[in-house]
Structure 1
């Protein structure tokens, strides 16, 4: 059963401007540890791809916060929600700390997709309730 749906569109130029104004502090505030390493690697190889990566993660976290219905209020924090990729490239959500415990207690599962073009990043998240285990 669907618990919630969230979507977000992000102007990559706005993310670029914020990064220029605040420096790496902005990325460190938004990204979890694994995401931050990927961002730094991608940005080192290509500034524009690094910024697009940051924008897609920002957008996906906004969409996730909408799907769970709490916005950016505890236990939802930027760094407690990471948007990572399987080796195939498929994105997935990894939660940490209090947010992970809150999510697990409600038996929820999340699905995320994201995309970017030269000036925009978009994401879509569906959160569903896992069905109860069947009795033997």
Structure 2
């Protein structure tokens, strides 16, 4: 059964401008430790890819927060929600801390799709209630 659906579109230019103003602090606020390591690696080699990586993570986390119906309120936090990928390249959401507990208690599962082009990143998220 569908629990919630969320979508988000992010203007990559806004993320770029925020990075110019706030530097790495912006990435540290939004990204998990694993995501931050990937962001740093991409940013050093290809700065534009680093910006788009941050924008896609921002967008996916926003879409997820909408799908679970919390927005950015506890237990939903930027760093407790990690956008990872399977070996196949499929994006996956990995939850941590109180958000993971909240999600598992409700017997939910999630599907996420992420895309980006030069100036926009977009995400779509479906959360299902598992009927065991």
TM interval, short-chain normalised: over 0.9
Count of residues in Structure 1 that have an aligned counterpart in Structure 2: 132
Following superposition of structure 1 onto structure 2, how do residues 27-46 of structure 1 map, counting pairs within 5 Å? 27-46=27-46
Aligned counterpart, 1:64: 64
Determine helix, strand or coil for the equivalent of 2:39. helix
Match of 1:54 in 2: 54
Larger radius of gyration: 1
Alignment partners' CA distance in 1, 2:27 and 2:115: 19
Q: What's 2:6 paired with?
A: 6
1:110 aligns with: 110
CA RMSD of aligned residues (A): 0.5
Runs of 4+ in 1 over 2 A off after TM superposition: none
Which runs of no fewer than 5 residues in structure 1 stay unpaired?
Answer: none
Separation in 2 of the partners of 1:15 and 1:38?
Answer: 17
Structure 2's unaligned 5+ residue stretches are none
SS of 1:48's equivalent? Answer: helix
Q: Which residue of 1 aligns with 2:125?
A: 125
2:25 match: 25
TM-score w.r.t. structure 1 length? 0.96
TM-superposed deviation, 1:94: 0.3
Q: Deviations over 1:88-135 (max 9, x none)?
A: 111000000000000000000000000000000000000001121xxx
**If the length of structure 2 is used for normalisation, what is the TM-score?**
0.99
